[in-house]
Amino acid sequence: MSNGSNVTFQPIPVSPLSTEALTVVTVLHVVIFIIGLTGNATVCVVSFFGGSARKIQRTPIKVFLANLSVADLLFLVISVPVALVKTWIPYPWVFGSAMCKC
Distance from chain centroid for Cα 93:
16
* pLDDT at site 58: 72
For residue 35, pLDDT over 80 is answered with yes
Rounded CA gap, 23 and 50, in Å? 38
More confident position, 3 or 58: 58
Overall pTM surpassing 0.95 (yes/no)? no
Strand residues in the chain grouped as ranges (E): none
Which has the minimum average pLDDT: 24-33, 37-46, 88-97? 88-97
Burial of residue 98 (number of CB atoms within 10 Å: 0-12, 13-18, 19+): exposed
